[in-house]
Chains A and B, each alone.
Chain A
Amino acid sequence: MAAPSNPYRVGEGGLIDRTRPLAFHFNGQRMQGYAGDTVASALIANGVSLIARSFKYHRPRGFLGSGLEDPNAMVEIRDGYGFDAAVRAGQVRLAAGMQVRSVSGWPSLNFDIGALAGYAAKFIKAGFYYKTFMWPNWHLYEPLIRRTTGFGRVDANARPHPRRQHHATCDVLIIGGGAAGIATASALGGSGLRVILADDQPQLGGSLLWSDIEIGGTSAAAWAGDRQAALDGAAAVQVLTDTVVTGAYEGNMFTLLQSFHTDGSPEAPGGIASECLWKLRAGSVVLATGSVERPLVFAGNDRPGVMLASAVRKYLAVHGVAPARELAVFTNNDAGYAAAFAALKAGVRVPAVIDVRDAPPKEFMQRLAAASVRCITGAEVIGTSGGRQLDGITVVPLGGGARQHIRCDGLALSGGATPLVHLTAHRGSKPVYKADVAAFVSGDLPEDWHAVGDACSPCSLSEALTQAHDAARAICRREGVAAPEFSPPDVAQTPGLPIQAHWRAGTGNPSDMFVDFQNDVTVQDIELAVLEGYVSVEHLKRYTTLGMGTDQGRTSNINGLAILAALTGRDMSEVGTTTFRPPYTAVRLGAIAGDRQGPLFRPERLIPAHALHVRAGAVFEDFGWQRPDWYRSNGADREAAVRAEMAAVRSTLGIFDGSPLGKIEISGPDAAAFLDRFYVSNLRTLKPGRIRYSVMTGEDGVIFDDGVVTCVDETLYLAGPTSAHADEVANRLERWRQTEWPELRVGIASVTSNWASFAVAGPRARTTLAALQPDFDVSNAAFPHMSYRAGRIDGIPVRVSRISFTGELQYEINVPARYGQGLMRRLMDISEPACGRLIGMEAWLRLRLEKGYLHVGSDTNGRTTPLDIGMARVVAGKHADFIGKRSLALAYAQSADREQLVGLRAESGQLRVGGRVLADGAMPPCRTEGYVTSACHSPTLGISIGLALIERGHSRLGERVRIFDSGTIVDAEICPPVFYDPENERLQA
């Protein structure tokens, strides 16, 4: 099959590589472009001018711009690496094999049923939906409305583009690789400062690439090329092309998005091979982002074929594409003429240049005359003709007069330059209006920022180069380095004449004058908003959706608020602008997420014997650490396994991996006094080798954590916070030491991960410990309940605590983490003949429930105090202050109607966590008096038991209550919270 032709490709020129054709598809039709094309330029070269249907009225739309400013050209693109539901065609470099589809128009782009909406236009102006769709309610209309909105469809199966992240710092960040940016970088080249120059295009140059001005005797484009080559050679300068600076944040932090593109071939995939999100911190910042051109507003200005003059120049000069055969120009400043000259040079016919100014620069007039192009001055375009493609325009003198019709299939618009000051706005700087250039320019710059070129204020090329040079000098001065010799090159540029602001052309139908092309906001919508009092610029934006599209209003904001200003008789600075929000241009969520997915989404913590638990059939759950919840080796399902595990502990032996339990060493002469200020219990009376349980509260008196404290000797204590709070407790101790009690001589060392910790619980716990042959006496007399021993096993240091969470005889054996797996294997071997089992979290928690031990976070909530869990006597018995003690004296802490922790025995049905205790007699909805905080069927007692926080619970032992749970009622009796071995005989044994 013959290669499809490029009817709109000019004979020669451009930066494309005509030796490397790239085949792609648009709406299923095979087309061809060249390496160096964007999707937009390739489509235009192939004669595509209708690219989309507008959002609301489904009007035919063409390419207005050439890059990310284009409000119209949203297309779906599937490249060799991933998928984009909707992206601006001018922003995407063409690659072989790309599948490009238009995202609007049904059944087809050319014939769009939705265009009927045009006939209803007068009824669906700005904000119409606030005024109707109320009867009977919005839900009736919503599904229909939703279906009509949105660009493109997400492909659930598409691979995301590969991405990574990079962190860097530099002395100077230069944003924008146009004339001003290149000049600044060149001036800093030899300074030794580390410079990063970022530009969103594949090559530096910006508007120089399509400029006809000469710099230092060569063409602007050639100059840019030479400079880029020089910069690439400079050691301290890093040039990042295809890189957008997407956000500016405090501390001169920036986010950049760098794309890596491959052209592709029939063999190799093409497109965005990967993206890299940069986080960059810069010392000084040079804003050289340039400006974007504005269209002019007149009736029918949205017809395909109408295009920004700058876009015409770029398509011609960079891509060798002529967007039209007969191109008229409508301008209010000098830039329009450059488009005319570029078109003529490329052999495009220019029927006329229409300038609202009476006296444009003489030289321009002469050049046009020489090419026998009509220059109609002091005039404006008031209408366009044509269907889905422009075929002519209507021109009248300003202030009225004879209309004339001019045939053309293209119209280049130049309404003036809008500086790209988004990044200063990200930092909270408000743009200010400058009437002489009819533009909002950056206001107060953030510290160590410099704005140069059009980004500072629309200016001539030589002015831009001078500003760049000055900025470079200022930076060198600030950084204390010598400014290298560099003077701006000579520029051969005709002195221009000022712009003549012209915000709204003609007196035609305001509902045909488009301001925001993407959201179909017309002059009439703005008139309506003003009529209804939405005159704050933010109200206008929100009421009409002006500038809220994916183009972020680059071409529409200024025109819109100028028209608002005129309608409300205010000047531009009074009206002000809306705030530009980051990012500068849309960024894939995937690029920001990076590769933090699946196992890398959140750092997970593994216990030392993790691998062995896996082999033992553990089913893990994340408790801050990956911990065995139950073991498949103990039962077919969770319930069966949990029961088997509980039975093992009660009858013989259970082995529980408690490694995540906090281990904090508190040392020094004042260690006891220090710890005593955190725990509710009196710790000063704790003897060496002994262990005490206690709870810790916040300053508000609410329980924060619990655990055991071990006295190794008078100057060394071990605090054992819960695994969930281990780090937080260590941080809390350290904070109070530093900020409140620096005089106390105490050191705090968190060593949680240094130790693997296994609890052996059950009647055979002692023989099991003994079988490990520790170098100390494990007899009941020598090693009683709530005591601690440090020694060795096989010469390895061990720390053993005799404590109990289960109500059985229990030892907690700590060994250095590297030996954790070995210890676990030994314990399994020893206990095997006795049918010992590995115990998961669920069984462990149910065992402690039978024993009535508290589980912080389950049996306490955001307002539970020690008084509520039965520790009133401990609190009263402690004379020293502890954190939170004072709050326990506040009225509510003392009040009688608080929820207090009690036990529950079910008399009918099964208790479940979360059951609400009903106020006597009633059925829901009704008042409740508390809830079940822990519950299980107790195999040991053969009944369903639970713990509950119930109002005045401590005074209601023996009372029967009704509990509501998922539509059922459970009857239960309030009882003391200890269900198993209340005399503690078993754990003393």
Chain B
Amino acid sequence: MRYSLKSLLVNGFRGNRHWTPAWRSPAPRARYDVVIIGGGGHGLATAYYLAREHGITNIAVLEKGWIGGGNTGRNTTNVRSDYMFPESAALYDFSLRLYERLAHDINYNIMLSQRGWLTLIHDHHQMESARHKANWLICNGVDGEIVERAGVARMLPLLNIDDNPRYPVLGAFLQRRGGTIRHDAVAWGYARAASRLGVDIIENCAVTGFERAGDAITAIETGRGRIAAGKIGVAVAGHSSVIADMAGFRLPVTSRCLQAMVSEPVKPILDHVVISPATGVYINQTQKGELVIGGMLDLYHSYGQRGTFPTIEKVLTAAVEMFPAFASMRLMRHWAGIVDIVPDSSPILGATPVSNMFINCGWGTGGFKAIPAGGFLLAHAIATGIPHPLAEAFALNRFRTNRLVDEGAAAGIAH
């Protein structure tokens, strides 16, 4: 049923007893043309775009737990496209543009709130880098600007802008189109839209192994039986190495723990997304009034979705240093996701050493903002067998030629 104010009213009067499942939960079939491993945002988006853009509908999405339960449901929901290398800028801005019309495309309110993404500038060197970034973005056709100190003070009334000897605020880099999205809505919205196009979404279905013929994989062994597959897409973020290992190849990926935390909700006090790379914290306030706070990665390789306290302590200390009034707010919950870190902090998209397996990983700490593009481009690779122009720079083989796209080095910490 289509979602609208009208459907809300009609169903309300009828006692809300006639709503239908957002997505079907069928038993897996014996064979699919395409099987997507991973029921997070990227996997579900891949299925949706395969069906919508390429007319392939005999698709299953296999999720070992519940859809959106990985990083899609654990991240700090920030979106932006202020990347510097043209390859990255094109990729992430394509993603943001897809997000900008997604609610209408899939008839599900993902609550895209383009409240502006502010990167604080604390010294002259950072100011020069920020100016470079703004220039580069404009050359790339992406919006970005420098806000002077006074402007930052107006936008962030609670920011400690006068009395912070260690990290004075000289200004900020602003991308107005940056902001936040309701993360669960992205998973559920894509699932619902894909399901209506015929995609089977199969939860509680862990992949346990592969059947091979030559350099191809013919079938997938799962907790819910054997599933034959024509082509396979992999979008499992922090668990990419595990699937790759089953399929017989290695990736330049290290899985690390990235923590996030929320405060108890209060009335609106922060209207933008603000990040201070130098102090290592980024913050936004949810529609519910909670502060969502994130920061640096945990120090070591981990698959345990539990964070370590020293990181929490560093991140919150930075938050209080930047916003002293936050000292009286309360930390309600902290949790962690497993992110897939690659040496150049850029994604890996497209072909793998297995001829009919295509992968989407390596987004590291920035996967959420890239969900529409990641899905769209993986779908293209699966459907056509060749990389989409936007994905060419991000092939796995770039590590053989050392032609890296090092946003990490160019753009500081990216979330």
Seen from chain A, the residues whose Cβ lies within 8 Å of a Cβ on chain B are: 82-87, 122-123, 125, 128-134, 137-139, 142, 145-147, 149-156, 158, 160-161, 247, 249-250, 253, 255, 279, 426-428, 524, 527-528, 531-534, 536, 538-539, 542-543, 550, 552, 579, 581-583, 586-590, 592-594, 596-599, 601-602, 604, 621-622, 629, 700-701, 842, 858, 861-863, 887, 890-893, 895, 912-916, 918, 924-928, 931, 964-966
Give Cα A884 to B134, complex, Å: 32
Given the interface contacts A249-B308, A858-B125, A966-B131, does A552 sit within 8 Å of B19 by beta carbon?
Answer: no
Q: Is the CB of A142 within 8 A of B113?
A: yes
Name the distance in Å between A968's Cβ and chain B's nearest Cβ.
10
Q: Is the CB of A154 within 8 A of B325?
A: yes
Given the interface contacts A152-B267, A589-B320, A592-B312, does A122 sit within 8 Å of B12 by beta carbon?
Answer: yes
| Pairs across A and B, CB under 8 Å, 12 listed | A129-B109, A132-B3, A532-B20, A536-B66, A579-B335, A583-B333, A586-B331, A601-B166, A914-B130, A931-B136, A964-B139, A966-B135
Task: Find the B residue at minimum CB distance from A136.
Answer: B104
Given the interface contacts A132-B109, A597-B324, does A916 sit within 8 Å of B139 by beta carbon?
Answer: yes
Q: Which residues of A contact B330 (CB under 8 A)?
A: 87, 550, 586-589
Name the distance in Å between B4's Cβ and chain A's nearest Cβ.
6
Q: Is the CB of B21 within 8 A of A532?
A: yes
Name the distance in Å between B97's Cβ and chain A's nearest Cβ.
14
Name the distance in Å between B274's Cβ and chain A's nearest Cβ.
15
Given the interface contacts A132-B3, A428-B304, does A924 sit within 8 Å of B12 by beta carbon?
Answer: no
Selected interface stretch from B75-83, B365-373, B399-407: B399-407
Of the candidates B139, B164, B279, B327, which one forms a contact with A160 in the assembled complex, judged by CB atoms under 8 Å apart? B327
Decide yes or no whether B158 CB sits under 8 A from chain A: yes
Q: Is the CB of A247 within 8 A of B328?
A: no
Of the candidates A599, A629, A862, which one forms a contact with B406 in the assembled complex, judged by CB atoms under 8 Å apart? A862
What string of 1s and 0s marks CB contacts (under 8 Å) between B287-313 and chain A? 111000000000000001010110011
Interface residues on B, range: 35 or more
Name the distance in Å between A526's Cβ and chain B's nearest Cβ.
12
Q: Is the CB of B111 within 8 A of A142?
A: yes
Q: Is the CB of A149 within 8 A of B289?
A: yes
Q: Is the CB of B131 within 8 A of A151?
A: no
Given the interface contacts A123-B8, A621-B124, A622-B166, does A426 sit within 8 Å of B331 by beta carbon?
Answer: no
Of the candidates B129, B309, B406, which one forms a contact with A279 in the assembled complex, judged by CB atoms under 8 Å apart? B309
Q: Is the CB of A533 within 8 A of B25?
A: yes
Q: Which residues of A contact B304 (CB under 8 A)?
A: 428
Q: Is the CB of B402 within 8 A of A892?
A: yes
Q: Is the CB of B138 within 8 A of A924?
A: yes
Q: Is the CB of A925 within 8 A of B141?
A: yes
Q: Which residues of A contact B23 (CB under 8 A)?
A: 533
Given the interface contacts A532-B19, A589-B331, does A861 sit within 8 Å of B410 by beta carbon?
Answer: yes
Task: Find the A residue at minimum CB distance from B63.
Answer: A536
Q: Which residues of A contact B129 (CB under 8 A)?
A: 914
Task: Find the A residue at minimum CB distance from B345.
Answer: A862
What string of 1s and 0s marks CB contacts (under 8 Å) between B129-149 and chain A? 111111110111100001000
Of the candidates B73, B134, B409, which one forms a contact with A861 in the assembled complex, judged by CB atoms under 8 Å apart? B409
What string of 1s and 0s marks CB contacts (under 8 Å) between B379-405 and chain A? 000000000000000000000011110
Give Cα A131 to B106, complex, Å: 11
Q: Is the CB of A533 within 8 A of B316?
A: no
Selected interface stretch from B27-35, B207-215, B258-266, B350-358: B258-266
Decide yes or no whether B242 CB sits under 8 A from chain A: no
**Which of B3, B69, B320, B409 is most buried by chain A, counting CB atoms within 10 A of its CB?**
B320
Q: Is the CB of A538 within 8 A of B69?
A: yes
Give Cα A427 to B305, complex, Å: 10
**Which of A129, A161, A927 is most buried by chain B, counting CB atoms within 10 A of its CB?**
A129
Q: Is the CB of B328 within 8 A of A154?
A: yes
Q: Is the CB of A629 within 8 A of B136?
A: no
**Which of B69, B73, B309 is most buried by chain A, counting CB atoms within 10 A of its CB?**
B309
Task: Find the A residue at minimum CB distance from B332.
Answer: A586
Give Cα A215 to B326, complex, Å: 47
Q: Is the CB of B309 within 8 A of A249?
A: yes
Of the candidates A147, A158, A247, A965, which one forms a contact with B309 in the assembled complex, judged by CB atoms under 8 Å apart? A247
Task: Find the B residue at minimum CB distance from A583.
Answer: B331
Decide yes or no whether B185 CB sits under 8 A from chain A: yes
Q: Is the CB of B317 within 8 A of A596?
A: yes
Q: Is the CB of A581 within 8 A of B334?
A: yes
- CB contacts under 8 Å to A, within B1-53, are 3-5, 7-9, 12-13, 15-17, 19-25
Decide yes or no whether B221 CB sits under 8 A from chain A: no
Of the candidates A122, A137, A593, A596, which one forms a contact with B16 in the assembled complex, judged by CB atoms under 8 Å apart? A122
Q: Which residues of B contact A129 (CB under 8 A)?
A: 109, 111
Name the distance in Å between B91's Cβ and chain A's nearest Cβ.
16
Q: Is the CB of A154 within 8 A of B158?
A: yes
Give Cα A597 to B333, complex, Å: 23
Task: Find the A residue at minimum CB distance from B268.
Answer: A146
Given the interface contacts A153-B266, A622-B123, does A524 sit within 8 Å of B16 by beta carbon?
Answer: yes
Of the candidates B22, B69, B140, B182, which one forms a contact with A925 in the assembled complex, judged by CB atoms under 8 Å apart? B140
Name the distance in Å between A861's Cβ and chain B's nearest Cβ.
6
Q: Is the CB of B12 within 8 A of A588?
A: no
Q: Is the CB of A912 within 8 A of B131?
A: yes
Q: Which residues of B contact A542 (CB under 8 A)?
A: 73, 184
Give Cα A858 to B129, complex, Å: 9
Q: Which 8 A-B pairs give the minimum distances between C-beta atoms?
A: A862-B409, A150-B289, A914-B132, A590-B327, A533-B21, A925-B141, A586-B330, A131-B3
Give Cα A85 to B327, complex, Å: 11
- CB contacts under 8 Å to A, within B146-166, are 146, 157-158, 163-166
Task: Find the A residue at minimum CB distance from B398.
Answer: A892
Given the interface contacts A130-B185, A601-B321, does A139 sit within 8 Å of B131 by beta carbon?
Answer: no
Given contacts A586-B264, A964-B139, 18 further A-B contacts (CB under 8 A): A87-B330, A122-B13, A122-B16, A134-B107, A138-B112, A150-B288, A151-B266, A155-B328, A161-B328, A279-B309, A528-B16, A550-B265, A550-B330, A550-B332, A629-B124, A887-B402, A916-B136, A964-B135
Task: Find the B residue at minimum CB distance from A888.
Answer: B402
Decide yes or no whether B223 CB sits under 8 A from chain A: no
